[in-house]
């Protein structure tokens, strides 16, 4: 019997493990692929408090070692379901079943890619999925943002304050983003709207992005835009369907939970990008991990009274 099982070894899950162990609870973390989550693909982190600069891999490695040194156990197994037995939860993986008293779901969310041939190889070499994380690396350069929702418009506005020029590429001529935000962006002199077009190819030079090909969806006419960076903002996709029986899901598949990280099921908590939230950053993932671990510890304490 384990005190707390944490599903996901990203920043939220590993932070939860640290706080659980420091609270005197035994934590076991399950991870399906690689610990650290999406942050391992970030070449440099410059917006985490008290750390001026660190690579995503080094950050993930340090966080992993900190959790392990405190006594957390990390198992490389995919969690495929959870059985709620009241005071005892059973976590089902692709290798077996494990009992615990509380569960923290920290499965994260994956950025939805464009699906282009060399997109993955250019991540960190011009292709990014987070303007606030990587935008400062493109100060004074020309970049593009792909997308038409609030995130894409906000990213383009943010980048326009630092970059020489920003292309906003959208496959329609209307935006899902709030009209007020779109109009604010239109007022920026260094932003150009590229509408009714899809990004259809990525060009590289010396292993770095140098241009994007866009294709008009009505005429099939192709055009190349010279850019140093492409910020993909076409949404994220969480993977929470296996936990629908213990956690209510909002539109888009995110777990319904507020800043307290509580789900609608006693003993089931959530943390990080997999839950409904306005801001998804490294700092907010760590904050969620701490909140969820302390809430889970408090839940176990209440069960022992």
Q: Is 210 a catalytic residue?
A: no
Give me the catalytic one of 3, 100, 134, 163: 134
Q: Report the distance separating Cα 64 and Cα 19, nearest Å.
A: 13
Extended beta strands in 58-130, E state: 73-75, 79-85, 88-93, 97-105, 109-111, 127-128
- Strand bridging mode 208-216 / 222-226: antiparallel
110: three-class secondary structure by DSSP: strand
Q: Report the distance separating Cα 64 and Cα 59, nearest Å.
A: 9
Contact 272, 13 (CB under 8 A): yes
Name the one residue in this structure whose structure tokens are 């011009």. 126
> Max CA-CA distance within the chain?
70
CA 108 vs. chain centroid, Å, equals: 6
Instruction: Count the neighbouring beta carbons within 10 Å of the beta carbon of residue 8.
Output: 28
Q: Is 134 a catalytic residue?
A: yes
Extended beta strands in the chain, E state: 2-7, 27-30, 73-75, 79-85, 88-93, 97-105, 109-111, 127-128, 142-146, 165-170, 191-195, 197-205, 208-216, 222-226, 229-232, 236-238, 268-270
- Residue 98, phi then psi, degrees to nearest 5: -135, 135
For helices 11-22 and 282-304, the axis angle rounded to 10 degrees is: 40
Q: Is 163 a catalytic residue?
A: no
Give me the catalytic one of 100, 133, 163, 274: 133
Q: Report the distance separating Cα 58 and Cα 53, nearest Å.
A: 10
Give me the catalytic one of 3, 100, 130, 155: 130
User: ∠ at Cα 137 (131, 138), nearest 5°?
Assistant: 80
The residues that are catalytic are 130, 133-134
């Amino acid at each position: 019997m384990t005190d707390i099982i944490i599903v996901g070894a990203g920043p939220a899950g590993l932070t939860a493990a640290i706080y659980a162990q420091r609270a005197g609870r035994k934590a076991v973390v399950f991870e399906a692929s690689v610990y650290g989550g999406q942050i391992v693909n970030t070449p440099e982190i410059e917006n985490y408090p008290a750390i001026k600069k660190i690579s995503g891999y080094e950050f993930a490695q340090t966080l992993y070692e900190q959790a392990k040194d405190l006594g957390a156990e990390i198992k490389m197994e995919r969690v495929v379901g959870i059985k709620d037995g009241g005071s005892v939860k059973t976590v089902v993986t692709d290798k077996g079943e494990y009992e615990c008293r509380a569960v923290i779901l920290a499965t994260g969310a994956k950025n939805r890619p464009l699906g282009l041939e060399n997109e993955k190889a250019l991540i960190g070499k011009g292709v990014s999925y987070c303007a606030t994380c990587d935008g400062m690396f493109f100060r004074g350069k020309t970049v593009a943002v792909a997308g038409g929702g609030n995130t894409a418009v906000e990213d383009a506005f943010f980048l326009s304050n630092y970059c020489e020029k920003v292309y906003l590429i959208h496959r329609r001529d209307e935006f899902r983003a709030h009209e007020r935000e779109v109009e604010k962006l239109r007022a920026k002199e260094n932003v150009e709207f590229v509408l009714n077009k899809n990004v259809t190819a990525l060009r590289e030079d010396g292993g770095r992005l140098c241009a994007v090909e866009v294709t008009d969806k009505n005429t099939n006419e192709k055009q190349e835009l010279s850019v140093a960076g492409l910020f993909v903002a076409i949404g994220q996709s969480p993977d929470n369907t296996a936990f629908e029986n213990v956690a209510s899901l909002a539109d888009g598949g995110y777990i319904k939970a507020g800043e307290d990280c509580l789900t609608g099921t006693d003993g089931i908590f959530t943390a990080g990008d997999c839950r409904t939230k306005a801001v998804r950053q490294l700092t907010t993932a760590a904050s969620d991990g701490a909140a969820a671990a302390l809430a889970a510890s408090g839940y176990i304490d209440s069960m022992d009274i």
